[in-house]
Structure 1
Amino acid sequence: MADYAEITYAVAGRIATVTLDRPEARNGYTIRMADKLGDALDRADRDEDVRVVVLTGAGKDFCVGADLSQGGFDFDSSTGPGAAWQEPAGRCSKRVFTMNKPVIAALHGAAVGGGITITLACDYRLASEDSRFGFVFTRRGIYPEGASAWFLPRLVGMGTALDWMISGRVFPAAEALEKGLVHQVFPAGTVLGEAHELAREIVAKTAPVSVAVTRQLLYRMASAESPFPVHELDSKLIGGLGASPDAVEGVMSFLQKRPPSFGMRVDKDLPDYLPWLEK
């Protein structure tokens, strides 16, 4: 387990578990927490021994949003953030967006404000029956953050996003499941175990390079103006499968009715023509 302030980070079975760790403050979100989350996500994304990240919170709540216990926000309001300043929830959601590893959020108790917006880029949001959600910004006289105005309508549709964000109301896990904000709801006390079970399935049955390309294809290409540029990229990817050891292994393991053993690495084997890669 790595030493961090306000979070914990542990790797076991190729799963990195990142835990918001301010239970005495109901995991109230701070700039320090944002910085440590960014570092932990960077670490997991660079580590080829990590295949999946599970994000959760210590104590009875996942995260109650920005820590307002000092009567204000966690930056110097006397001078105001500079032009290059990046608000802390978006630092996390953007880093999750760019991950090559899937991220599973295991949510319980309150997940409101920044406590839900930081998870909107996750591949899965699993909830507990005791979960409560809210985009409560209008009830505090503030504004949506975490790039949530981009993520949320894509997950639940514009009508639901408008309802939740304009009203700022808190809603239960059943509504979150019905509207598509969360993928599944589990009995109280079991959601973290279920998240790890899902992570183990991904580790055992999927190819890391294929997962990395697929999650980025979905995010980066979903807003293309037509299917044609997406198909152009698809064609390059499919046309290169003859030289892909993972594709050969995937077919052979299927034919031989055995578990696959994929050997390609995200740090070395991503196709170099992917348009989102840094040049």
Structure 2
Amino acid sequence: MDEMTLAAASFEHLLIEEVDGGIVVVTLDRPDKLNALHQGLWDELDLMCAVVEDDPSVRVVILTGAGRGFCAGADLSAITALPDTHVTTFMRFQESGAKVIARVKRLPVPVIAAVNGAAAGGGLALALAADVRIASQQARFNVAFIRLGISGCDVGVSWLLPRVVGLGHASELMLTGRLIDADEAARIGLANRVVEADELLPAARALATEMAANSPFALQLTKEGLQVNIDAGSIEAAIALENRNQVLASRTEDARIAMRAFVTKTAPVFTGR
């Protein structure tokens, strides 16, 4: 696609706020539906990812929801129609949503989920696709479809959840569909931390600022290394990728800037080169 910025892109169901330092807040904006996912919202999340991938000015993305919910999963009208939906139509809808979750996970920049309310089903998957999750006291999490006669293995949750909380906790949540609150989410590692509602976005922005203070290429390589090496077949394989990334990063102008700043005890100003 031609290069486009988030500010120039047109969205109906997403609110985009660009913050200083390359931090972008992306807000799901269907508050009357608890930001439930329908085809239009899936498509806009896909477009958002495409723009972020091509926009070097974006350093960190914060995902959150408007109103009381983060994302309540699939729109109720779509859920109730599933038994009567032709299998090929349902498959296309399923694949389009799953593709977006994978694309969020693969974004080259860090993603922080600021979970302000319900994160259920596909909304849970969206939170899991982020690198870090900060939850307000109002956040709630569950694997929804197991309660609706459909597998809890949905839009990447069966891959993402065990890697975040471990197989035992993931099995319990996926086999029961039980709703858990923010404190339990933090206890099992689903949420990195829990804050009061009015502190949620400030906490997410503060964390994003810490991340964005590092060089863009170093952030990208660190995220890549974490994502690849969690499934590495051996420590030798993991180290081989680390070695390659360290050597590549050391050749950049930003590495020279960072090292000079460290020696002179000044704040680095990175160029992304």
Global fold match (TM > 0.5)? yes
Question: 2:47 matched to which residue of 1?
Answer: 39
- Distance in 2, matches of 1:66 and 1:85, equals 11
Question: 1:110 matched to which residue of 2?
Answer: 118
Structure with the higher helix share, 1 or 2: 2
Question: 1:195 matched to which residue of 2?
Answer: 204
Q: Say if 1:117 and 1:70 are closer, same or farther in 2 by CA, change over 3 A.
A: closer
| Secondary structure of 1:125 counterpart | strand
Aligned-partner residue type, residue 47 of structure 2: D
Aligned-partner residue type, residue 206 of structure 2: E
For this pair of structures, how many residues does the alignment match? 264
Aligned-partner residue type, residue 167 of structure 1: T
Identity percentage of aligned residues:
35
| Secondary structure of 1:182 counterpart | coil
Structure 2: gaps of 5 or more residues: 1-6
- Once the two structures are superposed, the pairs formed by residues 225-236 of structure 1 within 5 Å of their partners are 225-236=233-244
User: In the TM superposition, what whole-angstrom CA distance separates every residue of 1:175-204 from its partner, at most 9, and x where no partner exists?
Assistant: 00000001110012321221112112222x
Cα distance, 1:145 vs structure 2:
1.3
Q: Say if 1:47 and 1:127 are closer, same or farther in 2 by CA, change over 3 A.
A: same
Structure 1: gaps of 5 or more residues: 266-279
Question: 1:172 matched to which residue of 2?
Answer: 181
| Secondary structure of 2:222 counterpart | helix
User: In the TM superposition, what whole-angstrom CA distance separates every residue of 1:76-115 from its partner, at most 9, and x where no partner exists?
Assistant: 8135338776534422220112111111111112111111
Question: 2:154 matched to which residue of 1?
Answer: 145
- Distance in 2, matches of 1:178 and 1:107, equals 16
- Distance in 2, matches of 1:62 and 1:111, equals 6
- Once the two structures are superposed, the pairs formed by residues 13-162 of structure 1 within 5 Å of their partners are 13=20, 14-69=22-77, 72-73=80-81, 77-78=85-86, 80-81=88-89, 86-143=94-151, 144-162=153-171
Aligned-partner residue type, residue 100 of structure 1: P
Aligned-partner residue type, residue 80 of structure 1: T
Does the CA-based 8 Å contact 2:18-2:25 persist in structure 1? yes
1:237 aligns with 2:245: yes
| Secondary structure of 1:49 counterpart | coil
Aligned-partner residue type, residue 12 of structure 1: V
- Decide which moves more: 245-254 or 81-90: 81-90
Cα distance, 1:263 vs structure 2:
1.9
| Secondary structure of 1:251 counterpart | helix
Indicate the RMSD between aligned Cα atoms, in angstroms: 2.1
